[in-house]
Structure 1
């Protein structure tokens, strides 16, 4: 007699869908309300019961770690894709800047930035992904220097430092800079490049004297 496996398959599919919904809801809630947001708010946003959430992530730290791993894994994928698709390193850096500075993603990065880094580095998947990302950025910087479009007197840490400042801490930037971090991130990165093309047109609008008043 053949065993009916449809029930087990359905359960696995439901579990996968619930995981996707939980992670999506957690990203949105953490970006909006910070990492201290109530877990039941995340469950409601995901459309699952609080028991389902806790079965998958027994603690808040487990959920935060999963979100951090997902973020850095996505960062690796985007950086690799840009590096492979763009012949001009300036275009690849521009795409990376725009991805990091996207408002919802920047807010999530800002929330995660408040967590002590040793908590993330204790996770092997996060540590591996972060190492891979740093290697990819280093490859872009070195390639740009060989092509003569990136200043020879900068290092990978200069690029990472600017990304960290403007993309991970927009809430701590003053006034207009915090409202449009992507604009100022491009301005700062522009100074690390050479040649007339650089990063192209800036996002947002110039801040005129009336705005300062």
Structure 2
């Protein structure tokens, strides 16, 4: 345990490993996932992880690619377990925990593309409690990938979702089901009824929420707590 903590206990290290586990491979992708970490400190942590044999770095088209070694990939259970532990025992969301950029970036990485209709489908998300320049987002899903846009991509929108950042974060964490959020009015959805009914399947829930067996089995209580 002492040796593990010596390597992993430096500030931000576990979050950097989490980003690599979630598929970030470039320096700027890692920065987007840990925006409060300075570029200099991120470089320092990556060098340390490389030195310990947890991360490898290679050049591809003159860009550095960071990947976990088998040693690093073996940390998935620990990192995911810490997320489940925190979600279970420290579930409160403070204002500092709410960030539209982090939320949308995280959602993009695990959106179940196979659950969406074939072709291109666009969902617009409007946050009523976020300043206008960060309050509108477009989720664009094709047969191959999902993308997040903070500017209107100019494609037809299938569903417009209006809610608060806190509610969307709670949905992503599995504190609340999409069914309960729509029924309670915490989320408003404009679009074809068939599309509205699919929102939960389209967006899914975070990896940690799925591991914790969420969404909540008591949606009425969860919705009431968010309204309080």
- TM-score class normalised by the smaller sequence: 0.3 to 0.5
Structure showing greater radius of gyration is 1
Q: Which has the higher contact order (CA 8 A, sep 6+)?
A: 1
Greater strand share, structure number: 2
